Structure 1
Amino acid sequence: MVKEIERYGIPIVHMATITTISESVGANRIVPTIAIPHPVGNPDLPADEELELRRRMVRKALDALGTEVKEPTQFE
């Protein structure tokens, strides 16, 4: 699905815990996430720290959207 959307010129960021799967399905922009049960958060953190963690991840994904890539690239 990711490759098909990008074929139409729409950049996609695939946020995933298991990045090898992202690469195998052809995602070009990959943002590694935290854990399978909580990919974009950490419920063990205090609420304000978790909110900041989520914001950092979204910013990373937005930065990845604006980056030209020619092959699968992970944005750490």
Structure 2
Amino acid sequence: MANLIPVAKTVGSNKIVPTISIPYPLGDPSTSKEEQWKLRYHRVGVALDALTDDAKDQTVYKVKI
């Protein structure tokens, strides 16, 4: 999971799941607790799926915005 996708690509990460921001990678304090939970649940789910994916090249996984 990374919030600076270009940096993750430069250092050679092969599986990249975008996060929200530097101070709050998996949340947005301006939203409700329910919205934050949904956002975190989705992003962590994508990251877990990425771990089981057989990616040969650098892959940036799609997440809900």
**Aligned partner letter, 2:7:** I
The TM-score normalised by the length of structure 2 is: 0.89
Structure 1 outlier segments of 4+, above 2 Å: none
Unaligned runs of 5+ in 1: 1-14
Kindly state the Cα deviation for residue 49 of structure 1 after the two structures are TM-superposed: 1.1
The TM-score normalised by the length of structure 1 is: 0.77
Unaligned runs of 5+ in 2: none
Q: Distance in 2 between matches of 1:30 and 1:47?
A: 25
2:50 matched to 1:60? no
CA RMSD across the alignment? 0.8
Q: Which structure dedicates a bigger proportion of its chain to strand? A: 1
2:22 matched to 1:28? no
Q: Distance in 2 between matches of 1:49 and 1:69?
A: 30
Q: Give the count of matched residue pairs.
A: 62
Aligned residues: percent identity? 42
